[in-house]
Amino acid sequence: MLRSRKRQAHSSVERAGLLGGVKFRQLEVDEKYKLRGDTMAEAIRNDKEQGFIPFYAVATLGTTVNCAFDRLDEMGIVANREGVWLHVDAAYAGSAFICPEFRYLMKGIELADSFNFNPHKWMLVNFDCSAMWLKDPTYVINAFNVDPLYLKHDMQGSAPDYRHWQIPLGRRFRALKLWFVLRLYGVENLQKHIRSHIAQAHEFEALVLSDPRFEIVGEVLMGLVCFRLKGSNELNEILLKRINGAGNIHLVPSKIKDTYFLRFAVCSRFSESKDIQYSWKEIKLRTNEVLEEQSLSK
């Protein structure tokens, strides 16, 4: 048995394979960091030739590394043709799909077998809250259904019994806080929240592009901007340590194909344009310090 994912897929995908004792194959992405259908089809073909049984694939909509979006429409066609379960991980970016203008990024969703996103990441819900959708829940229910006599009751079958949807028997009541957010904010205010963050991300992107010393890594589609100081990875590592060491803002690094870069995430519900401007001013200040020290050391 074999399952497939892209190299930038979330670490939980690899962990699930370790727990299940299942091998997985990492698939390469295109120049825009998207996993394509032809790559998936070739991997399935190679796996079958080696005697493996491909059964599960993960498409990521908004990767953790740089918020790239796989070509779900292409992958879905391949998965359906080959009888492979296609799971869609939209943990972060899934919240943006409440805005109609971003739904083009989930083209092909009707071909997926399961979909999850985390409202606690971008929809103003406290940690933890992960929403899971299954096209046909019977597969999961049949796998986890253990119904001893001491758990039977008169109302069985009148509502979904989620103990049959998961490994644990019990579960926390996470739905209430999500319900309160939906009732308190409403769709329009949640859409406004998402659009504001994306607009601020584009504002930061424009500031980065205005400085020839920097470059953008990948596309800016959501509230994440990946950028780097032109030069070596070591130079960017020094810059990151200087920025975080100052204690005014905090950035997280990542790396794709040996390219080290910094991640600027707009994630606070209180953030606004002045915060973007402040952050960029701080980044430029630390950049000037690092470059000046580098020039003096030569």
The segments of the chain whose pLDDT lies below 50 read 1-2
Active site residue 10: yes
- Total domains in the chain come to 2
pLDDT attached to residue 264: 97
Query: ∠ CA 45-48-53 to the nearest 5 degrees?
Result: 120
Structure confidence at residue 8 (pLDDT): 57
- From the list 58, 150, 187, 166, the residue with the least C-alpha distance to 112 is 58
Helix (H) or strand (E) holding 213: none
Report the CATH number that the domain containing residue 123 is assigned in CATH: 3.40.640.10
Residue 279 included in any domain? yes
User: What distances in angstroms separate CA 232 from CA 207, 228, 253, one per listed residue?
Assistant: 21, 10, 14
**In this predicted structure, what is the pLDDT of residue 150?**
63
Q: How many CB atoms lie within 10 A of CB 233?
A: 14
Position 2 in a domain: no
In the prediction, which pLDDT does 96 show? 97
User: Within a domain: residue 89?
Assistant: yes
Task: Report yes or no on 171 lying in a domain.
Answer: no
Domain-embedded: residue 262: yes
Q: Beta strand 114-117 with 131-134: parallel, antiparallel or unpaired?
A: antiparallel
> Is the Cα torsion angle 119, 192, 216, 37 positive or negative in sign?
positive
Residue 108 and residue 207 share a domain: no
* Residue 1 located in a structural domain: no
CATH code of 271's domain: 3.90.1150.10
What is the predicted pLDDT for the residue at 168?
A: 76
Q: Are residues 112 and 223 in the same domain?
A: no
Q: Which domain holds residue 210?
A: 187-297
Degrees, nearest 5: CA angle 42-22-166: 115
Q: In terms of domains, do 191 and 113 share one? A: no
**Of the residues 96, 111, 135, the one at which a domain ends:** 135
- Give me the pLDDT at residue 146, please: 75
Q: What is the reported pLDDT for 155?
A: 72
- Give domain status of residue 81, yes or no: yes
Q: What is the pLDDT of residue 6?
A: 52
Identify whether residues 126 and 15 lie together within a single domain. yes
The confidence score (pLDDT) of residue 1 equals: 46
Report pLDDT for 298.
67
Residue 296 pLDDT: 76
**Is 28 in the same domain as 114?**
yes
Rounded to 5 degrees, φ, ψ at 216 are: -90, 140
Catalytic residue among 10, 164, 193, 202: 10
